[in-house]
Amino acid sequence: MRLDDLERAWSAHTKTLERSLALDERILRELLLRKVRFALGPFALLRALEVALGLLALSALVPVVLAHRTEPRYLLVGVAVLVLALGLTIQCAGLLVRTLQLDAAGPVCTIQRQVEHLKQAEYRATKWALLGGVLLWLPVLLLGFEVPTGIPALGRVDLAFLLGNLVLGLILLVLGQAWSRRVVERPDLAPLARRVVDALASRSLHSAARHLDELARFERE
């Protein structure tokens, strides 16, 4: 066999090997991205369930508040509860939309940023659920009791106790929000802030981030 024939054979073999490697890389990438989408499935499902529950809660609470619209405590506290429920429902809907819009076919670094943004958005939703619950736990409990029973518990609770509970909750809300803005919700996302966000992130987001890290390492190698 002449040298030219050997060179052509070697060139053909090299091209075949390159195509095989490219195919293997594409298959592995698709496999890992499939794992990312699978990991985000429960997260999206849970957000959809939260949106449905939020709408159900609003549909149950609005008639109660409207029935007592002439009573100041219902008008003030009841509207605050409705605003909290609406705000949390909107945040859950935003998380659901961002999850469904995640571009799993894009660059890995872009998907990683999207997952990190989801973690931060989930942290903010959890933060407001906790702070809002601290502020309005008693009105929520009393209004929730009135929904199935029809008993106006909010109108019968001692006004001083209700106001004291709300004032204490408002103080804790302001302190919690100030701490969050100072320590966690920072542009640089310091190590402590990252640990807090990661600690509150769902298992689905952790799993998706782990698969993306694995894919990023593969592409670097």
- Max Cα separation, the chain? 102
Which distant-in-sequence residues (6+ apart) come within 8 Å of 28 by Cβ?
A: 218
pLDDT confidence band for 18 (50 / 70 / 90): very low
Q: How far, in Å, CA of 193 to CA of 199, rounded?
A: 10
**Do the domain assignments include residue 19?**
no
pLDDT confidence band for 220 (50 / 70 / 90): low
pLDDT given at position 50: 94
pLDDT given at position 209: 80
Kindly report the backbone phi and psi dihedral angles of residue 96, in degrees, each rounded to the nearest multiple of 5, phi listed first. Answer: -65, -45
**Do the domain assignments include residue 14?**
no
What residue numbers bound the domain in which 200 lies? 35-220
pLDDT tens per residue across span 75-90: 889 999 999 999 999 9
pLDDT given at position 141: 93
Q: What is the chain's Cα-based Rg?
A: 26
Q: How far, in Å, CA of 84 to CA of 65, rounded?
A: 14
Q: Please measure the distance between the N-terminal and C-terminal CA atoms of the chain and give it in whole angstroms.
A: 37
**Do the domain assignments include residue 94?**
yes
Q: How far, in Å, CA of 15 to CA of 177, rounded?
A: 59
**Do the domain assignments include residue 17?**
no
Tell me if 81 sits within 8 A of 107, measured CB to CB. Answer: no
pLDDT given at position 219: 61
Which residue is listed with tokens 């066999």? 1
Tell me if 120 sits within 8 A of 202, measured CB to CB. Answer: no
Tell me if 131 sits within 8 A of 172, measured CB to CB. Answer: yes
Which residue is listed with tokens 């054979």? 9
Kindly report the backbone phi and psi dihedral angles of residue 42, in degrees, each rounded to the nearest multiple of 5, phi listed first. Answer: -60, -35
**Do the domain assignments include residue 27?**
no
Number of domains in the chain: 1
Amino acid at 189: L
pLDDT given at position 21: 43
Tell me if 205 sits within 8 A of 47, measured CB to CB. Answer: no
**Do the domain assignments include residue 199?**
yes
pLDDT confidence band for 32 (50 / 70 / 90): low
Q: How far, in Å, CA of 202 to CA of 118, rounded?
A: 10
pLDDT confidence band for 15 (50 / 70 / 90): low
pLDDT given at position 183: 85
Which distant-in-sequence residues (6+ apart) come within 8 Å of 204 by Cβ?
A: 39, 40, 41, 42, 43, 46
**Do the domain assignments include residue 139?**
yes
**Do the domain assignments include residue 1?**
no
Query: And the tokens for 32?
Result: 């890992």
Mean pLDDT of 54-64: 95
Which residue is listed with tokens 């945040």? 91
Tell me if 108 sits within 8 A of 215, measured CB to CB. Answer: yes
pLDDT tens per residue across span 86-129: 999 999 999 999 998 887 767 777 888 888 889 889 999 999 99
Q: How far, in Å, CA of 145 to CA of 140, rounded?
A: 8
pLDDT tens per residue across span 134-190: 999 999 999 999 999 999 999 889 989 999 999 999 999 999 999 988 888 876 666
Question: How high does pLDDT run on average in the chain?
Answer: 82
